[in-house]
Amino acid sequence: MLTAGCGYPIGSSPTTGSASGSSVAGSVAVFTPSDSLVRGSDTPLGTWSRLRTELKKALVSVGFASGSIATTASRTSDDQGKAVRDFVDEASSKSSSSASSTSTTLVVAPVPQDATGDDSYGDLLTRTAADDTADSPILANALTLARRSGMHVVLMSNAVDGFTPDLFVQPSTARRIGRQQALKLVDKIELAKATVSNPRVIEVLIPRTNDATDADAFAGVWSVLGPYFRKGTAISVSGTLSSATTTADWESVVYDAGSSSSAVTKNAAKELASRLGDGDNGPTRIDGIVAMTDATASGVVNELKTLGYTGSSADVNPSISISGIVEGITGRRDITRSPVPDPTKGGSTSSAANSRWPIVTSFGASTGMLPRIVDGRLWTTVVEDIATTTMQTAKACARLDAGEKASGLASVTTAIVKGHRIPVLRPDLLSVSASNLKKTLIDPGYVSLADAGL
């Protein structure tokens, strides 16, 4: 079970006091949803409880006093709007009765109307469906009141109809998750070296959530894989993808996942079996599978084993030696690499080649799938870079409280959000594989050896 308090996040290290050695004369109030996910081995790392904890650490590290940081978690958008309004009223009352006052920045992650359908993507996903955005008039009015009271507002994950923030922070979207997985797959199987006479065989499985999220996820995948399918150097054995496929054909790779993580896993296995065949004539060659989420990847891995596929991701370059994974992760030896046959020299039709374990990608870095990274069944799982997200958000809060603009940060760009061009922070997603699992998750103490099945 991963918890926000078990260590420092990916890429970070313990901090004491201000990173700059100075204090910030301001305050920050953080408002997030209550964690929407049922805690379990398939829970993605990106949770609101983790973000709240790490954001407070980051705020302290840039100079905010711990007593000047408040956090509130709400179950509904209306409850959140009331909490923001109450905070603003109380702060305004204190300010009017005090001879001095300090600047205040609100960091608000609006509660989505419904996140239960796509909870396999974690708490922090930006919901793009019209009915999933935070459109509570109560929250919009409370944020407007905060602005009129002189406070700054940073929105995170979801925008709010009728309000334009000082900064919009976007940890992840389905499109970016799909694109990141496709990029890692292309690199791993060296798709650029494939030829029309020896194409790579690829399948994409997206669990059905809502139309907007599913279409967004496929758009990210297809932005990377599309050119290879159009050239004929990538094919789909199931026929769900072809050279004529466009982003409008996203439903061809979506499967009915069910309403629970166990159903997602079970139905993913059934979907893969229907695409690859029942195995009566032996395994069908498959080089790579974009499984989209850890729950889907779990079903994919189970079914591949049932269908008779053998080996691991170590069979494809660049890779680690499975025999050295445990020793490398526990620090007893370096991780080694081995070459792969050049795909331009022609493929093999032997049963051994057809049964070779494919490269599987997913999202979530859940404890249930970390052991599958260690044993090579799962090549990589994507996760939000919470360390960078919280640190850059903390720096933005310090700038806003000092009367400066968030756009002054090098990591901040601009984009159109809800019809307005505003500063936006979009940290890169991280890909965790066996080669960096120790460095990114275990060494900082974020997960234990036991979590990784070691």
pLDDT one-digit tens code per residue, 281-300: 779 999 999 999 999 999 99
Mean pLDDT of the chain: 84
pLDDT one-digit tens code per residue, 113-146: 766 667 788 899 998 654 444 467 999 999 999 9
Residue-level pLDDT at 333: 46
pLDDT over 90 (residue 411): yes
For the chain, the structural domain boundaries read 26-171+385-428, 175-382
Partnered with residue 417 across adjacent β-strands are 420
pLDDT over 70 (residue 396): yes
The helix (H) or strand (E) run that includes residue 105 is strand 103-108
pLDDT band at 17 (very low <50, low <70, confident <90, very high): very low
For the CA atoms of 122, 123, 129, 132, the dihedral, rounded to the nearest 10 degrees, stands at 140
pLDDT band at 86 (very low <50, low <70, confident <90, very high): very high
- The top-scoring range by mean pLDDT among 41-45, 295-299, 434-438 is 295-299
pLDDT over 60 (residue 6): no
Q: For a pLDDT cut of 70, what percent of the chain falls above it?
A: 81
Which range has the worst mean pLDDT, 15-19, 130-134, 226-230?
Answer: 15-19
Residue-level pLDDT at 279: 62
* Rounded Cα–Cα distance for residues 220 and 308 (Å): 31
**Mean pLDDT over residues 258-271, rounded?**
88
**Mean pLDDT over residues 162-179, rounded?**
96
Q: Which CATH architecture has domain 26-171+385-428?
A: 3-Layer(aba) Sandwich (3.40)
* Rounded Cα–Cα distance for residues 322 and 335 (Å): 9
Contact call for residues 367 and 39 (beta carbons, < 8 A): no
Residue-level pLDDT at 31: 97
pLDDT one-digit tens code per residue, 325-358: 556 665 554 444 434 334 444 444 556 778 999 9
Residue-level pLDDT at 135: 61
pLDDT over 90 (residue 94): no
CA distances from 210 to 75, 136, 227, 447 (A): 21, 20, 26, 31
Residue-level pLDDT at 390: 95
26-171+385-428 and 175-382, same CATH topology: yes
pLDDT over 70 (residue 250): yes
CA distances from 390 to 9, 52, 384, 387 (A): 10, 9, 11, 6
Contact call for residues 28 and 397 (beta carbons, < 8 A): yes
Contact call for residues 228 and 288 (beta carbons, < 8 A): no
pLDDT band at 85 (very low <50, low <70, confident <90, very high): very high
pLDDT one-digit tens code per residue, 177-217: 999 999 999 999 999 999 999 999 999 999 999 899 999 99
Which range has the worst mean pLDDT, 62-66, 110-114, 192-196, 312-316?
Answer: 312-316
Residue-level pLDDT at 332: 52
Which range has the worst mean pLDDT, 24-28, 40-44, 72-76, 126-130?
Answer: 126-130
Rg (CA), the chain: 23
* Overall size of the chain counted in residues: 454
Class at the top of the CATH hierarchy for domain 175-382: alpha beta
Which range has the worst mean pLDDT, 88-102, 324-338, 434-448?
Answer: 324-338
Residue-level pLDDT at 341: 38
Partnered with residue 103 across adjacent β-strands are 26
